[in-house]
Structures are given as structure tokens and as C-alpha cells.
């Protein structure tokens, strides 16, 4: 940590905080809400936070603003696109008892809204930076609940590596780390398309719940798979972890396909990659596929097999569209700025 704070000076509440968070990819998926306003999931889920595609978010308090402002990758977002950000800031202001509005400046290093969990990293970074700038000292559990209100999967990006997000009431629905597994997991991501998804996960989930006859079965089965996954992780049984990962993805996909009209994020190239993962397994390399609300394919393996997985995927998709990931860090503060007491340059703490 480098800083230029003089000894004995109490800086008080910061004027801006910058935080980083990484995306997570669910092994046991979340697809369906018990409460849309509170973003309570219909079933629990379990994911791996990755060491790629971080989002960096700065939240700056600005007393001259009458409304919050949200810039994403250099562009000011419309009120419609900023709804989730305004909601999370509003909840934080309520907790802090402060009225001051904020400017949020966020940068995604990975593709936005393409089924690569940019909303997870985004809302996790926002929850941490905004709660700190408004002077709240929240526990990881409380941060997770707050991030959840922006986007459900963000609850899991507060934590490093494996985490589980519990279903339940508002107070009970947070993520926490999953400990006790010694598996060296790796994920190889095939970026089939970086384009923004045609239908948001929020709308697609709603349509699945309202119209798919397979939805109820998906939720019942997924809750059972989550327990089995915890057992497999503790037993360091990679094959079982992989089987459950693929089953959760295919069953989520089945619930979507049963919607009317059907929701289908995969393309022919996705299917070619899914076939290849089966071939890899037949050739003795334990690798398992998962996908989210987009055509991109993520392949779970143990770290020792990740180079072989990448080599095989490169026979179907250009190597520059492949990203090799390992477990990554949870949300963390990168920089804090304080207003200088006497109009001097702001005081900056870098972590």
C-alpha cells in the first residue's frame, strides 16, 4: 500500500472509492426468482469466481448533483440502463442516512452483457465501492446481499474462488465461500460472440417461469444437485463435480427451451464446442462444459489439463477467442481518495 497521509491526520469519510471485482461462472446455475424486486432466487447456486475480466468501479460523492450519474466504459448510461445502479445506491444511502448523490464510473475489461458475467463483477464492485464511500463498514455477507439487489449472480462475486448463494428470505439470501475442496479448478472460455444478448437474463428468467412446463422440475432438481455438488467438492471428486456442472447447465437450458417462445442462446458454433468437450472426455481428458445467457462456452477442468483443453478448443475456434482462467479474487478496494482539509490536493490511498 502506498499513501501520502501525514501521521495523526484523521481523514474522515472518503470522497471517492475505487473497487475491483471479477466475474463468476456458476457450476450449479441460478435461473428463476422467488421475488423479483428483492432478487431472491428460487433455488441456491454455486459458482467459481475467475481471475479474468475484472470490472473497475469508482464511486465519487458529488454534492452538486441532483441525480446519480452512471458511466460505463466511457459512455453515460440512460436512466433505463442505470436502474440497477440507482437502486443499489438508493439502498446504501438509506442505510447510511446520507442524501448526497454520486457519479459512478465503471470499466469492464471483458465483454458487457454477453453471458460472461459482467453484471456480476459490475454490481459486486459497485456494492463495495459505494458502501465504502458512503461510510458504511459492511461484512462480506452484507455486501453480498447488497450486490444481489443489482444482479443476483453478483452476490457470489464478493468472494474468491468457490461460493454458494443461498435461497431464502432477504436476510438469508447471501453468498459465502465454499471451503474444504482441494481441487485445482480451471476454466477455459470460448468467446463465441461478444455481442450483447438479444434477451436479458431478467426477461428470459421471467418468461421461463411463466411459460415453461419444465421450470418446476428444473428448480426441484437443481436444489438436489446443489447438495450433491457440495459433497463432490468436499470429496475432491472432479468427475462428479464435472457431471453435476454439465447437468445443471443442460437442465437450465432445457427449462429455457420449454418457454414460449423458446429462449435459445446457443449457436451452431456453441454446439460444435459442446461436441468437442464430449470428444475430449472420450479421449481421456476430464473436461465439462457450461454456458450462461449467451453463446459462449466455458470448459471446466483441473488446472493440469487446461493446456490440453485449450489446444483442443483451438481446433474449432480461433485461439485469440480463448481465455484461460483460474480461480480469482473476490471484490477488493483499489483506491480511496479523501478531500484535503485545506483545499490542497486530494489525499489518495492506493491498495
Nearer to ligand PMV, 27 or 313 (CB): 27
Nearer to ligand PMV, 152 or 242 (CB): 152
CA–CA dist 106, 94 (Å, integer): 22
- To ligand PMV, the closest distance from the beta carbon of 184 in angstroms equals 22
188 close to 323: Cβ distance less than 8 angstroms: yes
CA–CA dist 62, 82 (Å, integer): 17
CA–CA dist 230, 183 (Å, integer): 12
- To ligand PMV, the closest distance from the beta carbon of 23 in angstroms equals 9
Long-range contacts of 62-68 (CB under 8 A, 24+ apart): 62/100, 62/101, 62/102, 62/103, 63/100, 63/101, 65/101, 65/102, 65/103, 66/101, 67/101, 68/101, 68/102, 68/103, 68/104
Count the Cβ atoms, other than its own, within 10 Å of residue 333: 17
State the sign of the Cα–Cα–Cα–Cα dihedral 167, 169, 171, 172: negative
- To ligand PMV, the closest distance from the beta carbon of 231 in angstroms equals 20
Nearer to ligand PMV, 14 or 84 (CB): 84
Nearer to ligand PMV, 15 or 119 (CB): 119
Residues that bind ligand PMV (CB under 6 A): 26, 29-31, 45, 119, 151-153, 201-202, 292-293
- To ligand PMV, the closest distance from the beta carbon of 170 in angstroms equals 16
CA–CA dist 309, 314 (Å, integer): 9
Nearer to ligand PMV, 29 or 145 (CB): 29
- To ligand PMV, the closest distance from the beta carbon of 12 in angstroms equals 35
Nearer to ligand PMV, 27 or 92 (CB): 27
- To ligand PMV, the closest distance from the beta carbon of 27 in angstroms equals 9
Nearer to ligand PMV, 202 or 281 (CB): 202
- To ligand PMV, the closest distance from the beta carbon of 115 in angstroms equals 7
Amino acid at each position: 500500500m502506498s499513501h501520502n497521509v501525514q501521521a495523526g491526520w484523521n481523514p474522515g469519510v472518503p470522497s471517492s472509492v475505487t473497487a475491483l471485482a471479477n466475474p463468476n461462472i456458476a457450476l450449479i446455475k441460478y435461473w428463476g426468482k422467488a421475488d423479483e424486486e428483492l432478487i431472491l432466487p428460487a433455488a441456491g447456486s454455486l459458482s467459481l469466481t475467475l481471475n479474468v475480466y475484472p470490472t473497475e468501479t469508482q464511486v465519487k460523492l458529488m454534492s452538486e448533483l441532483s441525480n446519480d450519474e452512471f458511466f460505463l466504459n466511457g459512455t453515460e448510461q440512460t436512466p433505463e440502463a442505470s436502474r440497477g445502479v440507482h437502486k443499489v445506491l438508493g439502498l446504501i444511502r438509506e442505510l447510511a442516512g446520507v442524501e448526497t448523490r454520486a457519479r459512478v464510473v465503471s470499466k469492464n475489461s471483458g465483454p458487457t452483457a454477453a453471458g460472461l458475467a459482467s453484471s456480476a463483477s459490475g454490481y459486486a464492485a459497485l456494492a463495495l465501492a459505494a458502501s465504502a464511500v458512503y461510510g458504511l463498514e459492511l461484512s462480506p455477507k452484507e455486501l453480498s446481499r447488497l450486490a444481489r439487489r443489482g444482479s443476483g449472480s453478483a452476490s457470489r462475486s464478493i468472494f474468491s474462488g468457490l461460493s454458494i448463494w443461498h435461497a431464502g428470505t432477504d436476510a438469508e439470501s447471501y453468498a459465502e465461500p465454499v471451503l474444504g475442496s482441494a481441487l485445482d479448478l480451471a476454466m477455459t472460455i470460448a468467446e463465441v460472440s461478444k455481442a450483447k444478448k438479444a434477451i436479458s437474463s431478467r426477461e428470459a428468467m421471467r418468461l421461463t417461469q411463466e411459460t415453461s412446463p419444465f421450470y418446476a422440475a428444473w428448480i426441484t432438481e437443481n436444489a438436489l444437485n446443489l447438495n450433491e455438488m457440495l459433497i463432490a467438492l468436499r470429496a475432491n471428486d472432479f468427475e462428479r463435480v464435472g457431471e453435476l456442472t454439465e447437468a445443471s447447465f443442460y437442465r437450465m437450458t432445457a427449462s429455457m427451451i420449454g418457454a414460449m417462445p423458446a429462449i435459445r442462446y446457443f449457436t451452431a458454433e456453441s454446439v460444435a464446442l459442446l461436441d468437442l468437450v464430449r470428444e475430449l472426455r472420450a479421449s481421456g481428458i476430464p473436461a465439462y462444459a457450461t454456458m450462461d445467457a449467451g453463446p459462449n462456452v466455458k470448459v471446466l477442468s483441473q488446472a493440469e489439463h487446461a493446456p490440453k483443453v485449450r489446444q483442443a478448443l483451438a481446433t474449432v475456434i480461433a485461439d485469440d477467442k480463448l481465455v484461460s482462467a483460474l480461480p480469482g479474487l473476490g471484490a477488493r478496494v483499489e483506491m480511496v481518495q479523501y478531500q484535503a482539509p485545506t483545499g490542497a490536493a486530494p489525499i489518495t490511498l492506493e491498495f
